Amino acid sequence: MNRLRALHDAGVSIWLDTLSRELLDSGDFARLIADCAVTGATSNPTIFAKAITGSNRYDDQLRAAVASGVRDPQQLFFELALEDIRRAADLLRPTYDDSDGRDGFVSFECTPDLADDSERTIEQALELWGRLDRPNVMIKVPATDAGIPAIEELTTRGVNVNITLLFSVARYEQVIDAYMSGLERRLAAGDPIDAIASVASFFVSRVDAKADALLPDESSLCGRVAIANARRTYAHYLDRFSEDPCLADDRWLTLRDSGARPQRPLWASTGTKDPAYSDVLYVEKLITPDAVNTMPEATLRAFADHGDLSHPLGIAGASSTTLRQARGAGIDLNAITAELEREGVRSFCDSYQELLACIETKLQGVVRVTSV
């Protein structure tokens, strides 16, 4: 666990990339906070589908919800999942308070069927924000074309937003602008901006999965494109949110002087998908101060066992060289990241539909038991 503490001390916030009733009921989540330097958690439809389908710990709450007249599968999902989010947020509240609101967050995602609908995303995000009623929660909104205006509007409304399914620097630029525009609108309306937090979740390993498939098996670029892409993103973050008046974005300096917090980069999808690579590759190579790394539990425990913090960051030069070499090898990163965005939305939609089907099945069983 000393490695995790050292990673935290190096400036990386460690968030757990899973959440379940079992983790909460068993006390394991509280122990991860106490012993493993975990300072946040994220969830998504895939995570909750596995949690709810793989456990009977939700059955009593499901029965109670049905008895109170709730039958819609989506509303039943919200009843079950939001309870987990609230409990996790309460466990993380001391972290949030001790960090002055910089850390200690748990995220819940808007349903992926709304990814291409700005207005409905905003409406649902506001509902979820109100129902959770915790300052240390974030609502996840995908960085789609429709998600960008939703990010701005929700920031304007004072909602903490976790922007998910980010793959390209070009899209990241839009996300930063949406965040700053939302803060500027609040400031113009006389609303406070000092308590608003946001993270931009940049997916890592999926980029390598796509790029590696287009490279020869023995290419020296295999396993390097995603890290270079993420490091370029981090360099962009440092430029846009610089504290140096000579380097910083003028918009940011005005917002910062009014109390705004930078939108922190978050490394998502950091579990290694290729067994030929180190199981801690995307943690060791992305030790970036002020960023978040959200890890599956297996990756977290692997880093605790054998993670190495000595890898040099080499943000600018090495990343530019790798990406230039990748272009020379025929890797069209723009095409890859656009495809990954579409696939990500589709995958989350599939998981969400599976989740609703599971709740329907459980609901039938609950109704039979209740009626006996």
Digit-coded pLDDT (tens) for 341-350: 999 999 989 9
Alpha carbon of residue 324 to chain centroid: 28
Quick one: average pLDDT of 207-219? 93
Residue 98 has pLDDT above 90, yes or no: yes
- Residues that are catalytic: 140
Name the least confident of 48-57, 134-143, 272-281. Answer: 48-57
Q: Which residues does 352 contact at the CB level (< 8 Å), separation at least 6?
A: 45, 49, 111, 112, 113
Residue 372 has pLDDT above 50, yes or no: no
**What pLDDT was estimated at residue 217?**
86
Quick one: average pLDDT of 78-92? 96
Percent of the chain with pLDDT over 90: 81
Q: The whole model's pTM is what?
A: 0.94
Which of 193, 8, 195 is closest to 102 using CA atoms? 195
Name the least confident of 102-116, 118-132, 183-197, 236-250. Answer: 236-250
Name the least confident of 95-109, 123-137, 356-370. Answer: 356-370
The residues with which 292 forms a beta bridge, in sequence order, are 13, 266
Q: Which structure tokens are listed for 324?
A: 């230039």
Name the least confident of 44-58, 181-195, 208-222, 265-279. Answer: 44-58
**What pLDDT was estimated at residue 359?**
87
User: Using 50, 70 and 90 to split pLDDT, how confident is the model at 314?
Assistant: low
**What pLDDT was estimated at residue 101?**
97
Quick one: average pLDDT of 292-306? 96
Domains in the chain, start-ordered, CATH in brackets? 2-371 (3.20.20.70)
Rounded Cα distance between 167 and 337, Å, is 5
3-state SS assignment for residue 261 = coil
Q: Kindly report the average pLDDT of the chain as a whole number.
A: 92
**In the chain, where does DSSP find H-type helix?**
2-9, 21-25, 28-35, 45-53, 59-67, 73-98, 118-132, 147-156, 169-188, 205-213, 225-240, 250-257, 281-284, 297-306, 316-328, 333-371
Q: Which structure tokens are listed for 144?
A: 């789609």
Q: What's the number of CA atoms in the CB half-sphere (13 Å) around residue 203?
A: 25
3-state SS assignment for residue 307 = coil
